[in-house]
Amino acid sequence: DAGITQSPRHKVTETGTPVTLRCHQTENHRYMYWYRQDPGHGLRLIHYSYGVKDTDKGEVSDGYSVSRSKTEDFLLTLESATSSQTSVYFCAITRLAEYNEQFFGPGTRLTVL
Amino acid sequence: ILNVEQSPQSLHVQEGDSTNFTCSFPSSNFYALHWYRWETAKSPEALFVMTLNGDEKKKGRISATLNTKEGYSYLYIKGSQPEDSATYLCASSAEGGTSYGKLTFGQGTILTVHP
């Protein structure tokens, strides 16, 4: 347990609505990540952050944006949710001192109808 | 190899069987290789991190080896039990400041152990 919480844990929304997922960590880690889980693809990186207000795109960033105004919070926003964004979303932090070992939050299950 | 690749994609074994999976990763600019165990409806849990060529790690009935020169790692499970059923992910990380701690994950090997 790396002190990572995600909210909400489950959400059902409709196509076209904006959705924001929150990741909160308590250990003051600099690097944070958002992944989505897809069958046959394992975990795919959406966006990551390397400091407050410092973010960059991952491999599947289209349709997503992120913000990090405080070290402890990393927000993922789906600007206009689509059914293809139905997935389980995981937030993670890296412990650089442990060879970049990543620790994951409990996940958010998002269903877009 | 540009990506991290795992084989097989899925595996069904009987309780008591020993099994192994393969992870292939880019050998250039290598920093560390990670194995994770991922149970259904849970988050991935770290098993091992390995950094040196020839590294071997062991946790109970599970062990892993690393060959950084040829870019592969093996995960072994001895005497599989139904509770070993999970997806096993490997991930590599590259050295360098611009890596920002990112891991490149394979697609996973789904292990099902039948009683």
pLDDT score of A99? 83
| Residue A108 pLDDT class (50, 70, 90 cuts) | very high
Which of A45, A50, A101 lies nearest to residue B49, judging by beta carbons? A101
Asked if pLDDT for residue A98 goes beyond 60, the answer is yes
Contact A41 B107 (CB under 8 A): yes
Put simply, the answer to whether A42 touches B106 (Cβ < 8 Å) is yes
Q: How much is the average pLDDT of A59-85?
A: 96
Torsion (CA) A62, A6, A38, B2 in degrees, nearest 10: 70
Identify the residue with better confidence: B41 or A17.
A17
Q: Are B100 and A106 in contact (CB < 8 Å)?
A: no
**Which residues on adjacent β-strands are paired with residue B109?**
B88
User: With a cut of 70, which residues of chain B have pLDDT below it?
Assistant: 1-2, 96-98
Residue A97 has pLDDT above 90, yes or no: no
Q: Which of B43, B51, B106 sits opposite A104 (nearest CB)?
A: B43
**Biggest alpha carbon distance in chain A?**
42
C-alpha B49/C-alpha B61 separation (Å) is: 17
Q: What is the pLDDT of residue B101?
A: 82
**A33-66 pLDDT per residue, tens:** 999 998 878 899 999 999 999 999 999 999 999 9
Mean pLDDT, chain A, integer:
93
Token pair, residue A72, equals 């402890």
CB contact under 8 A, B44 and A105: no
Give the A:B interface size as CB pairs under 8 Å: 59
Please indicate whether, in this complex, the C-beta atoms of B103 and A42 are within 8 angstroms of each other. no
In chain A, which residue's Cα lies nearest the Cα of B47?
A101
Q: Work out the pLDDT band at A16, boundaries 50, 70, 90.
A: very high
- Of A40, A103, A104, which is closest to B107 when you measure between CB atoms? A40
Contact B88, B37 (CB under 8 A): yes
Chain A (6-65) residues lying within 8 Å, Cβ to Cβ, of chain B: 31, 33, 40-45, 48, 50, 56, 58
Per the CB < 8 Å rule, is B103 touching A106? no
Whole-number pLDDT of residue A69: 96
Strand (E) or helix (H) holding B65: strand B62-67
For residues A64-75, average pLDDT: 97
Closest Cα in chain A, distance from residue B81 (Å): 23
